[in-house]
Structures are given as C-alpha cells and as structure tokens.
C-alpha cells in the first residue's frame, strides 16, 4: 500500500513513567527472601514522580518537542518552584499530583 504521507509525517509517541524508589540503609530480612517489605511515612514517596513523552517519526527522527509531566502536591507548581524553574524551549511541562499524564495533558501537548 502506498501512503500519501512521507515517513517524516508519520509520528509515534509513547510515555515513560519514572518512579521514585525508597531506598533504606538497612535491611532486616533473610537474603533468600524474594520480596522485601518497607514502611514509609508518606505514600507519594514511592509513587510516580514524573512522566516523559518523546515523539519520533517513522524516518527515525526524534521530534524537537516533548511532554514532561512532573509530580506536584497541587495541580500547579508551588510559588518558589514557579519563580525559579527553568524550562527548555523544546519541553511542554505540565503537573499532576501523581506525575502521570492524562488525556487532557496529551491534548495540550
């Protein structure tokens, strides 16, 4: 089948979520155990911290824009972060409480 689109016009994107990892200094368990349990003070310490979504063309080129969703306590950046943040011109930066992307954030992107 012949396409009316060039390989530079066919785009593919997928998001990659990166999680914070709680690392304890001590481990009081047997070395033969397959799973370890830890106690944490706050649930957000082990959930998503950010999601990045790059876009590539069928020609194998990485597009110059990408979506970055950062985890924040509120739906927007705090006052200090807003004042001091540096956003590269090729990044579309959004926030969410979980650091996960949503359909609305994809639409903005």
38-47 pLDDT tens trace: 655 555 555 5
Q: Where are the domains of the chain?
A: 11-22+35-108
Q: Which of left, alpha, beta for 99 (phi over 0: left; psi -120 to 50: alpha)? A: left
46-79 pLDDT tens trace: 555 888 889 999 999 999 989 888 888 777 888 8
Q: 71, 46 in Cβ contact below 8 A?
A: no
Percentage of the chain beyond pLDDT 90 is 17
Global confidence as pTM: 0.65
Q: What is the pLDDT of residue 44?
A: 53
94 or 48, higher pLDDT: 94
Q: Is the pLDDT of residue 86 over 80?
A: yes
Across 6-20, 54-68, 93-107, the highest mean pLDDT is recorded for 54-68
Q: 105, 76 in Cβ contact below 8 A?
A: no
């Amino acid at each position: 089948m012949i396409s009316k689109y060039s390989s530079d016009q066919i785009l593919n994107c997928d998001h990659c979520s990166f999680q914070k990892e709680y690392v304890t200094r001590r481990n009081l368990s047997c070395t033969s155990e397959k799973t370890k349990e830890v106690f944490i003070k706050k649930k957000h310490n082990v959930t998503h911290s950010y999601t990045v979504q790059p876009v590539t063309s069928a020609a194998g080129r990485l597009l110059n824009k990408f979506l970055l969703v950062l985890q924040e306590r509120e739906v927007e950046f705090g006052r200090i972060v807003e004042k001091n943040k540096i956003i590269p011109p090729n990044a579309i930066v959004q926030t969410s409480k979980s650091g996960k992307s949503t359909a609305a954030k994809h639409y903005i992107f």
